Amino acid sequence: MHDERRRIEERVERVHSQRIKPAIYAASVPLEVAAWQAPGEPVPFTEAAAAPYAPFTMDTPWGPPWGTTWFRMSGRVPDDWAGKRVEAVIDLGFVGDWPGNQAEALVHLTDGTPLKAVNPLNQYVPIADPAVGGEEIHYLVEAASNPDILAGGFARPTPLGDVLTAGDKPLYTFRRADVAVLDEDVWHLDLDLQVLRELMAELGEHDPRRHEILHALDRAMDVLDLDDVSGSAAAVRAVLGPVLARPAHASAHTVSGVGHAHIDSAWLWPIRETKRKTARTFSNVTSLADEYEEFVFACSQAQQYEWVRDNYPRVWARIQESVKKGQWAPVGGMWVEADGNLPGGEAMARQLVHGKRFFIEHFGVETKGVWLPDSFGYTGAYPQLAKLAGNEWFLTQKISWNQTNKFPHHTFWWEGIDGTRIFTHFPPVDTYNACFSGEEMARAVRNYQEKGSATRSLAPFGWGDGGGGPTREIMERARRLKDLEGSAKVVVEHPDAFFEAAREEYPDAPVWVGELYLELHRATYTTQARTKQGNRRSEHLLREAELWATTAALHAPDWSYPYEKLDRLWKTVLLHQFHDILPGSSIAWVHREAEAEYARVAAELEELTAEAVAALGDGGPRVFNTSPYARAEVIRTPEGGTAYVEVPAGASAPLTGGSAPAAVTADGHVLDNGLVRIEVAEDGTLSSVRDLRADREVLADPGNLLRLHTDLPNYWDAWDIDKHYRNRYTDLLEADSVTVVENDPLLGAIRVERTFGKGSRITQTITLRADSPRVDFQTEIDWHETEKILKAAFPVDIRAAHSSAEIQFGHIQRPTHTNTTWEAARFEVSGHRWVHIGEPGYGVAVVNDSTYGHDVTRTVRDDGGTTTTVRLSLVRAPRVPDPEADQGRHRFTYSLLPGASIEDAVAEGYALNLPLRVADSAGAPEPVVSVDGDGVTVEAVKLADDASGDVVVRLYESRGGRAQGVLRTGFALAGAQVTDLLERPLEDAERDADGGVRVALRPFQILTLRLQRAGVS
């Protein structure tokens, strides 16, 4: 037989694209359109309905960046269309085919009922099937003219990312607003051809099935009447019927399709626009559920549900009905799909608590899994937190983006730092926006790592990132792929059903231990430093507010615990931990608003804490310690002086101004407190850090070396830092001044000032306090660089086999060598409050109050010694998507802690991030709780969320070993229970003879205790 593949394929392509697709709508008539441009921010429907509208014609430019134009559309169904399937078709002037990053609209009836959204891949609005001739059509269409931020391909800076800089030039030209007849035979023929052509393209050249499809398509084209596509479409489909009916092989892979619409809670649009995106997408989804009874849609992010509930009650009611019918699956159990590395431990717990509670309260559904497809790596604390929140499975997709190493599993048990395991899957289809194309189905089968042991994978389908969701075309593809020879089999089902079946067939799945490190997007640990600092500060202010509010509730008769205010503030912080806000990868508008929100949160929490402390009574100044560790340190007094104070953990003490064991001297460029001696060179670096206790020099080379690197990644400016950044740099070795600015017996300080680059300026105050080996670097930067990253290096004379970095509820060890590609790929990593390096008998920690990114390297010197260098990433300057990212002023502190154990690092991490608070108060109550036992660390103290008056305490083992201790309370204890994260009892806690609560923890174990107070019912 002659090879005629090319002729047939080209024939089919032309007829399909030029004759069949244009015939999908058999007839159309234009709608009458009028327009009103809303001034400023979006307005409610009632205001838009009452606005004055002016006539509007097609092919007219409309829509300034971030504007809202309301269109009033009216028309009627022609009499001769009676009995046909009639739809409205609206083209706002779409650019490209990405639904979420351009113009989109929500169509309402005139009474305000949202019908459905329109976007490039979903332009229709159903009118009637069958239609009634003469039926009138009246719509109000809320159209958003959101700019295409990525028109430059993630490489071109644009001012469009903020309404303040975007200008007012119209972005779009309206193309179509018609009433049209959908020719269902032609529409289905189009879908038949799509599925068969895509399947054929993926089959092997010598696969008989490929040739069977090819010749069926050729025969079908012979049957098609090019002059009457509509009249011949059914006959063409009949020719294709046999090849579409051939069943899949018995061993065919099964893809569990789960409807999805990834909606970033902010990214290339502000939060206010996400609120509208949820209404558009969820309207589409509930409409689709009415059309396809097998449809199942998985939707996470309780925050987005709350937005719809509060702003679109009719859409909310439709969601509730879909949940009842089993077509809508709340998943994920988190307030938002948060970043997987940067939120603190307690914040990550609250993400799960607030999310799970919302779904239980509003739908009676307890979610079973963590749905987190798009985050930039995942902490090793996740398995334990997920299980403690009542979850059974974990889903992600992003690890498929690895730059260097292919992750070896798709279905596996993920083991966290404490030993907890959770059943985990990441889809081999390698997207959370699947559309069931032939290429996707082939890719899922080709990629699947579990061949021979398991047979199924999951595919989230539907347009996403900016929303959109599944379409009827995707559902039709799923129906055709349900059982089709040559393809994986598609079954649309609830994700819980997939995970149950996957675990049943593969109970002995392999185990992955520790973090799921993404070998990409490593700069998200650093970009938009002020956003990250706002998050860190908010987390610690929330801890303070809860502790002292609980203390006041126990001891101040007139104090009422501020449940609602704390709940609201927590939710604000949790929202901003979304995986494109906290990582710094959003447009300027998002980060401008985030900084303002963090300032508002800080002000409210400072006020709340001050009120709680004041409620304990009037009196002289006292010092309040929120840390879980006792403190003996030098502080500033309200008058500007210094004082040495000793304060128990979680308690207060008088501001007495006691004397420290030894004084600090500041002589020239030397600071000395009897524990360590610091020498500052003329260039502002540390020429020596001498640990006087251990009689050893800490540094191998100059310390606190500030190095400015060129930082232009290959792609994804705000997200990525590529390894070649290390190759070009400038060391900042010219100081404008090095000056002693404090010479107090309790405190010595030297200030170093530098100017460099494009007018940037750094002022660092190097401070040493009495009775502490910790050296603080209080840093102020006025930053005006572009495409640069600034790092601070501490080359330490230690041969460290690994570094230890704090993560949520523990720490993770990473090798300092690069023996394998996996280790070499970790050239930039994340940590929280501290990084520790050590050799037997000696260690050093670098502590920070707002920095997450760092790297640790190791070299061997000519003298045979080893230098291990810790470098903190301080600030970056990417230009996409925010061309002014990180520009301006920054203020933060990091510290060097010589002679530190892991326990010292933990304690100083808390101390730096929870500074002692001085306030006038007569109250000197016992701590709410105290713990006897090394390694048992109190993370949170609060009243139970159910307003019962019970006290909830969250503890964890912080050193990485087993720990035992006794928790004692500052109130009469009636009972104690171990609970899950949602404060639901699991078992009674063990008590000792004195009434305390016995605590025995495995390494990094998290324990939540619910404590009943005597006399409180």
* Mean pLDDT to the nearest integer, 713-730: 97
Q: State the CB neighbour count (10 A cutoff) for residue 745.
A: 16
What's the pLDDT at 265?
Answer: 98
DSSP β-bridge partners for residue 139: 73, 109
Q: Is the peptide bond before 159 cis (omega within 30 degrees of 0)?
A: no
852/847 Cα distance (integer angstroms): 10
Task: Please report how the helices 184-202 and 5-15 are oriented relative to each other, as an axis angle in degrees rounded to 10.
Answer: 150
Tell me the pTM: 0.97
Q: Which letter, b or e, does each residue of 455-486 get, where b requires 16 or more Cβ atoms within 10 Å of its Cβ?
A: bbbbbbbbbbbbbbbbbbbbbbbbbbbbebbb
**3-state DSSP assignment of residue 29:** strand
Q: How confident is the model over 292-336, as pLDDT tens digits?
A: 999 999 999 999 999 999 999 999 999 999 999 999 999 999 999
Q: What is the mean pLDDT of residues 642-671?
A: 90
Q: Is 374 a catalytic residue?
A: yes
pLDDT of 201 over the 80 cut: yes
pLDDT of residue 938: 98
Is the peptide bond between 881 and the residue preceding it cis, with omega within 30 degrees of 0?
A: yes
- The encoded tokens of residue 582 equal 């906290």
Where b means 16+ CB within 10 Å and e means fewer, 359-394 reads bbebbebebbbbbbbbbbbbbbbbbbbbbbbbbbbb
Q: Could you give the CA distance from residue 852 to residue 134 in angstroms, rounded to a whole number? A: 64
- Strand-pair partners of 843: 838
pLDDT in tens, 755-801: 999 999 999 999 999 999 999 999 999 999 999 999 999 999 999 99
Q: What per-residue confidence (pLDDT) applies to 1?
A: 62
Task: Quote the crossing angle between the two packed helices 302-311 and 345-363, to the nearest 10°.
Answer: 50
Contact (CB, 8 A) for 963 and 976 = no
Lowest mean pLDDT among 18-32, 59-73, 140-154, 561-575: 140-154
Could you tell me which residues come within 8 angstroms of residue 12 by beta carbon, excluding any fewer than 6 positions away? 193, 197, 217, 218, 221
Q: Give the mean pLDDT of the chain.
A: 97
The C-alpha atoms of residue 351 and residue 575 are separated, in whole angstroms, by 9
Burial 997-1008 (b: 16+ CB within 10 A, else e): bebebebbbbbb
182-196, 629-643, 660-674 — most confident range: 182-196
Q: What is the three-state SS of 372-416?
A: CCCCCCECCCHHHHHHHCCCCEEECCHHHHCCCCCCCCCEEEEEC
Exactly one of 192, 264, 374, 855 is catalytic; which is it? 374
pLDDT digit string (tens) for 362-404? Answer: 999 999 999 999 999 999 999 999 999 999 999 999 999 999 9
> What local confidence, expressed as pLDDT, does residue 859 receive?
97
Other beta carbons less than 10 A from residue 568's beta carbon:
12
pLDDT digits (tens, 9 = 90+) for 237-267: 999 999 999 999 999 999 999 999 999 999 9
Beta bridge partner(s), residue 512: 414
Mean pLDDT of the 608-636 span: 94
Strand partners, 478: none
Per-residue pLDDT tens digits for 546-579? 999 999 999 998 899 999 999 999 999 999 999 9
Which pLDDT band, with edges at 50, 70 and 90, does 620 fall under? confident
Taking a C-beta distance cutoff of 8 angstroms, is the pair 953, 938 a contact? yes
Q: What is the pLDDT of residue 4?
A: 85
Q: 983 pLDDT band (50/70/90 cuts)?
A: very high
Q: What is the pLDDT of residue 557?
A: 86
The torsion defined by the Cα of 401, 406, 410 and 415, in degrees rounded to 10, comes to -100
Q: For residues 489 and 480, give the distance between their C-alpha atoms in angstroms, rounded to a whole number.
A: 9
Q: How many CA atoms lie within 13 A of 994 on its CB side?
A: 6
